[in-house]
Copies of this chain bind each other. A is one copy, B any other.
């Protein structure tokens, strides 16, 4: 009775990791968590306070389908601080970037249309394409290209049924960014094919401060004004459980995406929208910047530590909070490495299986969404594991 797309959805391996880690913890063990794609910090206090004020002020009704005007204005201000001029009319507030992906799939994909995505990449992307009857087509990427496509890779993958491309910068699971020139070139190519270019910037603000000039940009909108931008309050702004994000869409798409949002969502969560107004307050921004610096410090600590233990970290992440690590020298697949590390040493890591089908056996993803003390403990245990396995 079920639609074909259901069988095409791969179960997340990380779910097994999470369940098994919970079993260890229930039995009293300390688990080091490198598997969680969610900031460990609580939502910043000024945002929580604004959420409580919103509730006590009665902001519990439907809002406009594309979000409240003051939040759109706050996002306009956000882009202005980054040196970009984005009109409020092109901003659509969504129930997380997830809802943004549903809107874009619904807006842009007819059944049978192909969407280019990356392998490795965010595993849910292909499910959004399939939801709309579209067909995801992966561009296989390796470390020698920083796990990001050049325009030639996009052109090579673009077939007669291809309607557009979805890339992320910084990306999950690698943390790498597209450089500005590549964004401009891919946008020009897509434009030339009458196609679209969706750029996932949900890790915006969580990029290293010492980036090379080609990646030292605030948004891909600097290089192409007709991108479809996905963004989120979950990562830099620390609002995962509130389920709030936004899109920036080209002006000709506003009417269609608005109609879809009215029909498919009615409105995003109202208290979350009012709370998010405080996410741009100076007090909250100070907290977010501190946390971004913490993530950068953790990245160095974990990356250095793993390399000292003999791991190959093929690309230094430009941002986000992930490290994509090659474990092939251990002689184990990523899945086996993760399984044994958890079972024998209670360190939880996500296998590359969750991010694609191209050389995924070589890799595991470490998320540094845990304290420096936990990172140190994790490194100690990995060291012990290597010794125990005769690889130290």
Q: Kindly state whether residue A253 has any CB partner on chain B within 8 Å.
A: yes
CB–CB A107/B241 < 8 A: no
Q: Kindly state whether residue A264 has any CB partner on chain B within 8 Å.
A: yes
- Tell me the nearest residue of chain B to A243, going by C-beta: B269
- Tell me the nearest residue of chain B to A3, going by C-beta: B110
Q: In chain A, residues 43-100, which have Cβ atoms closer than 8 Å to a Cβ of chain B?
A: 43, 48, 51-52, 55-56, 58-63, 95-96, 98-99
| Apart from A9-B263, A43-B60, A102-B131, 15 more pairs, CB < 8 Å | A3-B107, A4-B110, A6-B259, A9-B260, A38-B61, A48-B56, A95-B269, A98-B266, A99-B265, A111-B112, A124-B263, A133-B133, A241-B270, A243-B265, A271-B271
Q: Kindly state whether residue A42 has any CB partner on chain B within 8 Å.
A: yes
A252 to B5: give the CA distance in the assembly, Å.
16
Contacts of A265 in B (CB 8 A): 95-96, 98-99, 243
CB–CB B264/A242 < 8 A: no
**Interface size class for chain A?**
35 or more
Q: In chain A, residues 138-185, which have Cβ atoms closer than 8 Å to a Cβ of chain B?
A: 163
Interface residues of A (CB under 8 A from B): 1-6, 9, 11-12, 15, 38, 42-43, 48, 51-52, 55-56, 58-63, 95-96, 98-99, 102, 106-113, 123-124, 127-128, 131-133, 163, 194-196, 239-243, 252-253, 256, 259-260, 262-272
CB–CB A271/B4 < 8 A: no
- Tell me the nearest residue of chain B to A38, going by C-beta: B62
Copies held by the complex: 2
Contacts of A123 in B (CB 8 A): 263
A293 to B1: give the CA distance in the assembly, Å.
40
Partner of A9, one of B111, B243, B253, B259: B259
CB–CB B60/A242 < 8 A: yes
CB–CB B61/A55 < 8 A: no
A273 to B58: give the CA distance in the assembly, Å.
17
Q: Report if A131-B128 is in contact (Cβ < 8 Å); known contacts: A108-B2, A259-B9, A268-B243.
A: no
- Tell me the nearest residue of chain B to A262, going by C-beta: B12
- Tell me the nearest residue of chain B to A265, going by C-beta: B98
CB–CB B107/A264 < 8 A: no
Q: Would you list 15 pairs from A and B whose C-beta atoms are within 8 A, ordered by A residue?
A: A2-B253, A3-B107, A6-B259, A9-B263, A42-B61, A48-B55, A48-B58, A60-B239, A60-B242, A106-B131, A123-B263, A127-B263, A127-B264, A131-B132, A241-B269
CB–CB A271/B241 < 8 A: yes
Q: In this complex, which of A11, A42, A264 has the most chain B Cβ atoms within 10 angstroms of its Cβ?
A: A264
CB–CB A131/B264 < 8 A: yes
A3 to B52: give the CA distance in the assembly, Å.
40
Q: In this complex, which of A38, A106, A268 has the most chain B Cβ atoms within 10 angstroms of its Cβ?
A: A106
CB–CB A267/B253 < 8 A: no
Q: Report if A242-B259 is in contact (Cβ < 8 Å); known contacts: A1-B108, A51-B55, A127-B264.
A: no
CB–CB A96/B133 < 8 A: no
Contacts of A271 in B (CB 8 A): 51, 241-242, 271-272
Q: In this complex, which of A106, A263, A269 has the most chain B Cβ atoms within 10 angstroms of its Cβ?
A: A263
